[in-house]
Every structure is written in structure tokens, then in C-alpha cells.
Amino acid sequence: MKTRILMFGALASVLAMSASCTKTESAVAVSSVAKDQATPFPGGAPITAADLTATPAALPAAPPAYNYDPYNPNITHAEYARFAWRQFIHFNSPAQKNGVDAAGKSPVVRGSIDPSRNFAASGASDFYQSGRTGASNFSGNQLVWETFAHRSELFPAGSAPKGNLATLDPEYVFQANLKVASTDARFNNLDENTQIGQNQIFFPKNGNTPSPNPQDDHIILFQAKVNPVEYDYIKSIYNAGNPPASLELPPNATSQNESVEVKSAWREMTPALIASGRYHTAEALYYYKENGVTQARVATFGLVGLHILRKMENYPTFVYTTFEQVDSLTTPDNKDTGLYLINLYDQMQYDASVPSGTRPTAILNSGSNRTAVTLPLAGAIDSAHGYDVIAGKYTLPPGFSGPIKVQNPPVATSAVYGVNSEVQQAMASSPAFKNSVWRYYRLVGLQVLPTNEDSSVTPAKPDPLTQDFYLANIVIESSQPGIQLFKGGVKDPDPDQQQFTLLAKRGLPSILGVKKLPPNSDQLVMGGCMGCHGNAQYPRDKTTGKGPSIFSFLISQGTLTGQGFSADVRNESSAELSAKRLEYLVY
């Protein structure tokens, strides 16, 4: 039986697309560092070495409201990019220590920044390791966001979230009566082994060629966390068996505090990678099935991707920012890493709006130019249809496809590139960052407010908000169909469940009924991260009562009724992986 993915209007990425597949025309407006507008927005000011070493690093205040004027925006993309970096600096600073040094007890005040240490301190290559003691299985050196509530703490299987998060030691309870022993617990809990059920992504174990069985290579694992504000809000409304009719994450009518969500991606570390000093590393939990029993294990992993999502007044769909470690595609000596993915499906289709045998396009606005990128043909996931499949003989389950080489789609913006250079220069000017791991992380992009895609590459002035319209992180949204160059909404899988069918309509509005957006802006067809998760409430459509919430992989009727989450195992069977393709798509 074939496994297909039904795609409406070209839901796919453009890895390894040839030059003949793109059309580019210069844009009239350029959002660059040099052309910033004057606005009362301290978070958008140029970043200096003093910003990097401020003790503690302040969380930047929320940006003022955007004026939606494409000819004279009050905030530029570069200013938003600096705001993104300031968030990165804050959340990646050391968490506050609380003096506890006992087995199974948290040595930090969860969610709080250390008032006496700064961002430079957490950049030491042995930051995590130097915080270990003989008494506790936790390190006293944690990043602020690492101490947030894991998704299995926000929604533990069979119970409600509990207590004051700041003082709780991590406790992980999953479906199937899996509870992590307190002596095994760590703050980083890598319980997801796929990119939202679409694919798995690997670094080759030997050289840059996949192993005959990809499961022998180094997999990237994931986790999702939320800050104490969101934790406390969910705790206040939680009533297992009787979920709320609706919810709106803070800021809301009763709370002006801000919700923050973090998604992180981690690669298995080799001794050479640890010694390189180019990664933030930490001990982390992962899961393995042995003799039919799921076990928690501990190993050293390196951070390779980080989404930071922050919901603020005037920005009700969250502001999405994402960062990558620079060595995912190319090694420090400029060699190909061989990063690749295995799709959990083997066919793709478009809807009737795309004539048979044609390739639709996606319009990318870099701020310097707009590019029309041609997407793969419908049909099999193979080289003939536009996928960069790696040649060789590989052991893949029926219905899967690959291995497919991971490459960046051409979505980088001029503003983000300029601000990254500005931050690198600031680090280079500060002795505190001479050996810092943070020198090897870059802002990929950010989304601040929803909009529709630019309609063409013609000289008409582009909407500045369409910069980063197709926001994606190569180690969190790598798959060609379904995640990169995504826009529109997602519907249920095929009802008969005989084949995996992602009903993703590029023309389906994905921003619905969001409070505090300007008139007529809540029926937009948004792309990238915000296209999937841009509705900060549950359920998504308050008129019909249907649809996923802001972060449907966290908040749903299932999690609000005590279902909790399962823990993905490293050696998951193909049948179990196939079942997960449906888990992330059902309303």
C-alpha cells in the first residue's frame, strides 16, 4: 500500500532546486540595518558588546504596535531581528541558583535569570559540566529556558500540572504508565523523535554518507517547553474530564503577563564534537525500548536549533524567532556534513488548482529581492520529481522515502543577515566571547504579524511583513513536503486512515478569529511557523468550535482531558512511526 501526502497548492520545500527553477526581481523596498526607522523601541537598537555582557541580560520589552503601512513602517525587520537576538541573549543566560544540592532536587529557581552572571558565562564550552556536583543528578548551570516546564509537566498523563514551577524538581509522567525516576531526570528531556510526524533527520555516523540502515546514524531529537506564565495559566483552567470551552493564552483579558514557548533540537554528540567548543552541550534524557520496555537513558547532546515564541500585547499571534547552530550543513573546514532526512511517506499530490504535470511556485521576499521558487512535481518522492534523493541502497520501511539531502531554501533576509553580522562584530570586540559557543549560533529569521504572501515578483512594492513569510529552521522544519515553504491551514488525515493524507490547503485561511488584530486581518493565509500555530487560543475558530489551537502539539482536547503525551523511543518501529503521522494532524 502506498503512503501518499495530499498537498493543496504546493506545500513543499525546494531543497536542491536548480537555478532554472527560480525567478528573481529586485524589490523596491529594502529593509536593511542602514534604513531603520526612528521608533520608540529600545529592543530594536543596535546591539553592542555592552548588551552581550549586561548582568543580568534584560528581557527586551515588547515592541510597540506596528502601523501596517508598507510605505512607511514604524518598525523595520532589522529592528525586530535585534529584538529577537536580545531575547536569545536573555533566555540563554544562566538560570538563578537556589543553593540546593541534593539528589533529585532542582538546584535552580526555574524560569528565573541569575542576577550575578551574564550571557558570556553560559557560553563556556563546559558550562553544563562545570555545574555538576557529587550530590545532585542535576547541574547547577542551566540556561533560563532549559528550566521551563516540559510539555509532559504542563500536561502530565492522568493528572493536572501542579505546584509552584520555580521550586519544583523536574518530574516527567507519560502515557503507558511511563514515569522517569527522579534520579534519572534532567532538565532537557528529548521525548520527540520526528519533525511533527513528518520525517526523521540524521547526521551520518561515518563521513557524509548515510548508513545502509539510517537508524544506525545520529538522529536529531526534540523537546517543547513553556514558561511559568503559561504553566500557571494552564494550571488555573485545568479540569480533567471537563476541558474549558475556550482559552486564550496570556496576555489576555485577566493577565498581562506574557506566554513563552520554546522548541529545541539536539544532536547526539561525539567526543570530537564536544571537544570542538562550538556547541552548547548538556546531559539530556532520551528513550529506548529494550525487551519491550521503554527506558529513560542519559547522554550528552548538543543544541542545534531553537525556536523562541513569545506572545505579547499588540502581537496576539506570538512573535516567532528561530536560531541555528552553523555547522548543520557544513563542517568548520567547509565540508558537507551529509545531513539528511527520511520521510514517513512516499507520495505527494496537489489539489485540482494545480494543473497536472505543472509545478507551482512560492514567492520569497528577502528584503532585497523577491524570488519565485518552483516546487516539486506531484507524485513519487524521488529524484525525477525534484527531490535530492541520495543514491545508494538503504533499508527503509514500506511507505517511507529517502534519504533526502537537507539544504536551505533561499529564504534568508537582508535584515537578518545584517543583524547577525552586527552581533558577530560585537562578540569579536569583547574578550568575554573569545571562546564562547554562542559565536556559532545565528538568527535564521522571525515572524511578527500575519499577512498574505506577495502575489508576484513584479516591481509593485512588497509588504515588509512578507519577509520571513516562509520561516523554517533546517533542523526543525527540514522535510520537503509539509513543513518548509508551508502556508495555509491543515485539515484531518484521510478518514479511512488507509493512507497518510495531509490535507494542507495553501488557500485556506490559517489565522482565524484572533483577538486584537486589525479589522480584516483574521482571515489571512499565513506561511511558515505562524501559518501552523498563529492562533493563541483554543479552539482555533470560535465561530465553529473546530480547529487546532495556537500550538496544537501542546494544547488540544486530548491534553486538556488528561491524556498527556507519549515518549518517543530512539529505536521506534516503523509501525509506531507510521502511527505518529496521524497524531500531529488530528484536530
The DSSP secondary structure of 446-470, one letter per residue, reads EE-S--PPP--SSSSPPPGGGBTTT
φ, ψ at 364 (rounded to 5°): -110, 130
Q: What is the mean pLDDT of the chain?
A: 85
Measured CA to CA, the distance from residue 176 to residue 450 in angstroms comes to 39
The SS3 assignment for 342 reads: strand
Residues in the chain: 587
Asked if the model's pLDDT at residue 364 lies above 50, the reply is: yes
225, containing H or E segment: strand 218-226
Identify which of 24-28, 156-160, 453-457 has the greatest average pLDDT.
Answer: 156-160
Measured CA to CA, the distance from residue 266 to residue 75 in angstroms comes to 33
Asked if the model's pLDDT at residue 23 lies above 70, the reply is: no
Which is more confidently placed, 515 or 582? 515
Measured CA to CA, the distance from residue 154 to residue 366 in angstroms comes to 37
Q: What is the pLDDT of residue 245?
A: 80
Return the C-alpha cell found at 547: 480547529
Cell 535584515 appears where? Answer: 415
- Report whether 285 contacts 180 (CB < 8 A): yes
Q: Distances from the Cα of 318 to the Cαs of 6, 91, 517, in angstroms?
A: 28, 16, 12
Q: What is the pLDDT of residue 376?
A: 84
Asked if the model's pLDDT at residue 493 lies above 70, the reply is: no
First and final C-alpha spacing in the chain: 25
| Rounded (10°) angle between helices 77-91 and 414-428 | 50
Q: What is the pLDDT of residues 80-94, one digit of tens each?
A: 999 999 999 999 999
Asked if the model's pLDDT at residue 129 lies above 70, the reply is: yes
The SS3 assignment for 441 reads: strand
Q: What is the pLDDT of residue 407?
A: 87
Range of the domain at 555: 4-583
Return the C-alpha cell found at 299: 547522554
Asked if the model's pLDDT at residue 112 lies above 50, the reply is: yes
Bridge partner list, 374: 361
pTM summary value: 0.91
Nearest-5° angle of CA 288, CA 290, CA 296? 35
- The pLDDT confidence band at residue 544, using thresholds 50, 70 and 90, is low
Mean per-residue pLDDT, 424-438: 98
The SS3 assignment for 411 reads: coil
Q: Distances from the Cα of 89 to the Cαs of 24, 116, 415, 439, in angstroms?
A: 35, 15, 19, 12
Q: Which residues contact 53 (CB under 8 A, 6 or more apart)?
A: 118, 119, 120, 430, 432
Q: What is the pLDDT of residue 127?
A: 98
Q: What is the pLDDT of residues 58-85, one digit of tens each?
A: 999 999 999 988 888 999 999 999 999 9
Q: Do you find a cis peptide bond into 403, omega within 30 degrees of 0?
A: yes
- Report whether 482 contacts 577 (CB < 8 A): no
Asked if the model's pLDDT at residue 511 lies above 90, the reply is: no
Measured CA to CA, the distance from residue 146 to residue 286 in angstroms comes to 15
- Four-residue CA torsion sign, 468, 472, 473, 479: negative
Q: How far is CA 11 from the centre of its chain?
A: 18
In the chain, the number of structural domains is: 1
Q: What b/e string do you get for 198-217 counting C-beta neighbours within 10 Å, with b at 16 or more?
A: bbbbbbbeeeebbbeebeeb
Return the C-alpha cell found at 261: 514557548
Mean per-residue pLDDT, 470-475: 94
Asked if the model's pLDDT at residue 243 lies above 70, the reply is: yes
